[in-house]
Amino acid sequence: MSDKKNLKDFFNLSFYVRLAVIVVVILLAVFLYHYGMQHTVYVDNRTIEIDGESYRALDWAMVSVDGGEEQEYSPRTRREETVMRQKHTIHVVYEDDDFNEVEFDAEFTLPVNQRQIVLSLPALLAGLDQSQYLTEFVPMAQQLGLQRGGQAPASEAAVDTDISEADMFGDMTMDF
């Protein structure tokens, strides 16, 4: 009989209040993780090739992400937008081949596990799938196989990618 009384004392009102507080804290943490995570979206206006087809960069565009400040884009322009949450809208005003001004609105959802994303304007405006116009941002040093401290990895393929100062900065002889 004493075991029943101890068990009943354990599941009293304070137990349920503590359990409710723990559940609320866990739900709040999940909510803040999904809606409070900061992402960097690099809006890119460069010619891109996807599945063997080339999509030409826009000659001129004005782009706004989530109703923010409009920024002007010319060919080979990449700008950074810092956003919160997963779901976003983009508003693009651009000139088509006949020099007519065209407005384009779209929604896109960012993957939870990627903090830096590249959004290709030509691929977006071509009507491609989100998995094709949104790609993970890979820093140039990582693309070239460089690690911290300027040391190339020990793999055979990466040893051939020796980058000289002239390759990194271009021909600087005419800059003076």
Element (H, E) at 7: helix 2-10
Residues 127 and 98 in one domain: yes
- Is residue 170 situated within a structural domain? no
- Is residue 155 situated within a structural domain? no
Per residue in 49-88, pLDDT (tens digit) is 999 999 999 999 999 999 999 999 999 999 999 998 889 9
Per residue in 2-32, pLDDT (tens digit) is 556 677 777 888 889 999 999 999 999 988 8
Report the candidate in 83, 130, 137 with the shortest Cα–Cα distance to residue 106: 130
Residues 107 and 135 in one domain: yes
Residues 16 and 97 in one domain: no
pLDDT value at residue 62: 95
Per residue in 116-150, pLDDT (tens digit) is 999 999 999 999 999 899 999 988 777 677 756 55
Residues 7 and 51 in one domain: no
Residue 64: is it exposed, middle or buried by C-beta count within 10 angstroms (0-12/13-18/19+)? middle
pTM of the model: 0.66
Report the candidate in 112, 50, 56, 121 with the shortest Cα–Cα distance to residue 87: 112
Question: Percentage of the chain with pLDDT > 70?
Answer: 79
- Is residue 9 situated within a structural domain? yes
Residues 24 and 100 in one domain: no
Q: Where are the alpha helices (DSSP H) in the chain?
A: 2-10, 13-36, 121-125, 130-133, 140-143, 156-159, 165-169
Whole-angstrom distance, CA of residue 106 vs CA of residue 41: 15
Q: Which domain holds residue 61?
A: 39-140
- Is residue 160 situated within a structural domain? no
Q: In this structure, what DSSP letter does residue 151 have?
A: P
Residue 151: which pLDDT band, with cuts at 50, 70 and 90? low
Residues 80 and 8 in one domain: no
Max alpha carbon distance in the chain (Å)?
96
